[in-house]
Structure 1
Amino acid sequence: MKNQTPRCVERRSPMRLKLTVVVLAASLPFASAAFAQGAKPTDVAVIDACLKTAEENGGFGGACVGLVADPCIKAAEGANDDVAKWKACASRELAIWTQKTNEALKMAQAGGADVTKAATDSQKTFVASRDRFCAVFDKVEPGMYRGGASYCRLRETANRSLSLIKLGAAVNEH
């Protein structure tokens, strides 16, 4: 019988495994209840039209951010400013940008293993970082940043999505 070196087996505790699953699930853009409803087709059409114009003009699409949330928030302003309505407006557009992010990630996968790994890995840390950062906006005067953390998540996600859209377009050019 040959001398065999015993294999080292890494044992993960059930708690660590559960934590890993929770972290991974939380990093997915669908994790929020706001996305369970999905984006309204009319809202998506507004953003899509703006993005198409930006692409035709060689732009980045930054002017498309807020096209759904801002008019909704403005309509909720007045004597009875309703912070919950502002947050709902921001969540409504966040659903669109989350959908755009998921689509862009799929497009980026055409860039090969390196691009796919970089985009996927960075997306996991992006969501956690975004949520930690944006949470502070719920602790400041609501009128300073209408929609608080919800609006922050909308802006951060939209900017991330725009970059991923450019990446997806770049790796799919040929």
Structure 2
Amino acid sequence: MVKKLLLPAIVLVLAVSAYADGNFFSLAETGTPVQVREAIRAGAQVNARDELGATPLMWAAAGNVNTEVITLLLKAGADANARDDYSLTPLIWAVMGSTDSKLITVLLKAGADINAGTNSGMTPLMYAAWFNENPEMITLLLKSGADPKSRDSEGKTALDYIKKNPAVMGTDAYKALLDAVNR
């Protein structure tokens, strides 16, 4: 009986102390669904901003491999299209920081704008092509409606950026992007 009560109490103390310390961003990035849920119940603000304008959802999208954490934040009202001080969205954070395509699916189902460009016009597809080592991410973005012909402020497309990413060169994702651009 004591063990059954002790674990939830410890989780609650950790979650509340993380919230009280203003460390909900770190908890969103690395915490478990139980910890994040308890922090939200204790009053953690899901749309709070850190010193870079990033939200807990952005930190979770980049670093937490548990899609349930992303889902909890979204159900609690996290903005799937928020922008940080550099105009990056949670979807861009996800394609830059994670190789798990399930995170992308969760964000897209929550209404994340697949073609939301930064101030320089870079889209999630461009960031995935340049930085992500999982070709499935590029394929998923294309199948979900990402515009392969979008150009950033330098006139570059995702095809230009994928050439800088040796992990995906020559893959089916590269070929799909090439085909999509040439249609």
> Does the pair score TM above 0.5?
no
Q: TM-score, normalised by structure 1?
A: 0.23
Q: TM-score, normalised by structure 2?
A: 0.22
Larger radius of gyration: 1
Report which structure shows greater RCO (CA 8 Å, sep ≥6).
Answer: 1
